Amino acid sequence: MSLHGVMVLDKPSGWTSHDAVAKARNLLGERSIGHLGTLDPMATGVLPLVIGRMTRLSQFYEDSEKAYEGTIRLGFATDSYDADGDPLDPPRKVKVTLEQVAVAAEAFVGVIAQTPPPFSAKKIKGVPAYKLARKKREVDLQPVEVEVKEFTLTGVDGDLCGFHCRVSAGTYVRSIAHELGQRLGVGAHLASLRRTAVAEFLLEDAHTLDQLAEAASHGRIDDLLIHLRRILPGVPSVTADEDALGKIRHGRTVNLAEFSRSKWVKVFAGQSDLVCLASRVAGSLFHPKVVLIG
Active site residues: 40
Q: Give the span between the Cα atoms of 72 and 153, in whole angstroms.
A: 10
Asked whether 12 and 23 are in contact (CB, 8 A), the reply is no
- Given a contact cutoff of 8 angstroms between Cβ atoms, the answer to whether 118 and 130 are in contact is yes
CA distance 21 to 49: 8
Nearest by Cα to 6 from 45, 27, 36, 41: 36
Of 204, 185, 101, 109, nearest in space to 147 by CA: 109
Q: Are 5 and 54 in contact (CB under 8 A)?
A: yes
Residue 283's Cβ-count burial label (10 Å; 0-12, 13-18, 19+) is exposed
Judging by DSSP bridges, how do beta strands 264-269 and 237-239 pair with one another?
parallel
Tell me the β-bridge partners of 286.
Answer: 254, 280
Strand partners, 267: 238, 276
Terminal-to-terminal C-alpha distance of the chain: 15
Q: Which of 39, 46, 54 shows the shortest CA–CA distance to 200?
A: 46
